[in-house]
Amino acid sequence: MPVATPKQYAAMLDAAQAGSYAYPAVNITSITTINAALKAFADAKSDGIIQLSTGGGQFASGINNKDATYGAIVLAEVTHLLAEQYDVLVALHTDHCQPDKADSFLKPLIEATAKRRAEGKNNLFQSHMLDASNLPLDENMAISKEYLKLCADQEIILEVEAGVVGGEEDGAAGSHDTPDEQLYTTPEEMLEVYEALNGIGRFMFAATFGNVHGHYKPGAVKLRPDILKKGQTALQEKYGAEFDLVFHGGSGSDPKEIEETLAYGVVKMNIDTDTQYAFSRPIVDHVLKNYDGMLKIEGEVGNKKVYDPRSYLKKAEEAMAARMFEACENLNSVGKTIFGKV
């Protein structure tokens, strides 16, 4: 059962917290990208997290339908089937669902897990993200409490966010002109999050420390991992507890800064932009090198061997898997699978 059960997922997060490592959380949109993620985790002997956004779900359902919920269920069910071939654990997660989409996206997915559980099956998803960070913190926590209760009833972990991750990524809340002060979650805000949600169910927390979605030139993004340390210290001193923290906008981050966040309780790092590029780069190379064969021009018939989608999608899968393996190395999760131990 390589898609983790709720007990196994909790053990994964506990192991990462205790061992100062984290899991890459990679966004997928297709069978090919699912296979790339599974290959990477298997090659690295690392457990990991496979996640999808509302946009990914819409894409997977087909351009005639654009049904985010249906597409998400399709991709999740496919992952359950494909993951059975491997000896590492993966968890399924949904990324960045804003409050105005939660009723039509998160609730049906939680219900889909409830239906599976009633049939004696594993959870469809192991965690979900409700991104209400565009709301004032009190409103954010009010809706987060509602969804944490729904999730907890099905042994699903909820991810919440306070503060704003800059940039833009598949509908995420930030923008390129987000004021600097909103890019850094304060210790006081972190305590408010804990006080609002503690005791309802297990949750992960995406505190912001200058992280930005997308990819930027060196020096453009000013990360302050010490923000996470200050928040964790405040929580430890007041309640003797610690957060399971999430690092959003991991693409393009300096390995030393990634390493520092692991010491402060980051157990999950989202990576999307880098894997999108890794996937696309060999396709571009293939097309440019095989231009004459890809096209039927001047009465010719082209070369089926090079315009067969498998010829370039295999290269894309390999390249994406290689970038994911690198993420496992950066997050110190290589060789640390708990498969067969829990």
Query: Structure tokens of 68?
Result: 């985010």
Those residues whose C-beta lies under 8 Å from the C-beta of residue 115, and which sit 6 or more positions away, are none
Those residues whose C-beta lies under 8 Å from the C-beta of residue 103, and which sit 6 or more positions away, are none
Reported as a pLDDT band with limits 50, 70 and 90, residue 180 is: low
Reported as a pLDDT band with limits 50, 70 and 90, residue 38 is: very high
- pLDDT tens digit string along 111-155? 999 999 999 999 999 999 999 999 999 999 999 999 999 999 999
For the chain, the straight-line distance linking the first and the last C-alpha, in angstroms and rounded, comes to 11
Q: Which of 237, 240, 326, 321 is nearest to 282 (CA)?
A: 321
> Percent of the chain, pLDDT > 70?
91
CA distances to 134, 207, 281 from 263, rounded to whole Å, are 28, 15, 33
In a domain, 291, yes or no: no
Instruction: Give the pLDDT score at 127.
Output: 98
Which one of the listed residues 14, 43, 67, 95 is annotated catalytic?
95
Number of domains the chain is built from: 1
CB 17 within 8 A of CB 242: yes
- Asked which of 114-118, 162-166, 308-312, 334-338 is least confident by mean pLDDT, the reply is 162-166
Instruction: Give the pLDDT score at 223.
Output: 84
In a domain, 294, yes or no: no
In a domain, 286, yes or no: no
Residue 34 has pLDDT above 90, yes or no: yes
- pLDDT tens digit string along 211-237? 665 555 555 557 899 999 999 999 999
In a domain, 72, yes or no: yes
In a domain, 121, yes or no: yes
- pLDDT tens digit string along 249-298? 877 788 998 999 999 999 999 999 999 999 999 999 999 999 999 999 88
In degrees rounded to 5, what are phi and psi of residue 215? -135, 135
Residue 183 has pLDDT above 80, yes or no: no
Residue 198 has pLDDT above 50, yes or no: yes
Evaluate the CA torsion angle 176, 178, 180, 182 in order and state its sign.
negative
In a domain, 302, yes or no: no
Mean pLDDT on 25-37: 98
Q: Is 170 a catalytic residue?
A: no
- pLDDT tens digit string along 81-110? 999 999 999 999 999 999 999 999 999 999
In a domain, 230, yes or no: yes
Those residues whose C-beta lies under 8 Å from the C-beta of residue 327, and which sit 6 or more positions away, are 24, 26, 40, 250, 269, 271, 274
Reported as a pLDDT band with limits 50, 70 and 90, residue 170 is: low
Supply the CATH number for residue 198's domain: 3.20.20.70
Residue 156 has pLDDT above 80, yes or no: yes
The mean pLDDT value of the chain amounts to 92
pTM: 0.93
In a domain, 62, yes or no: yes
Domain encompassing residue 118: 6-273+317-330
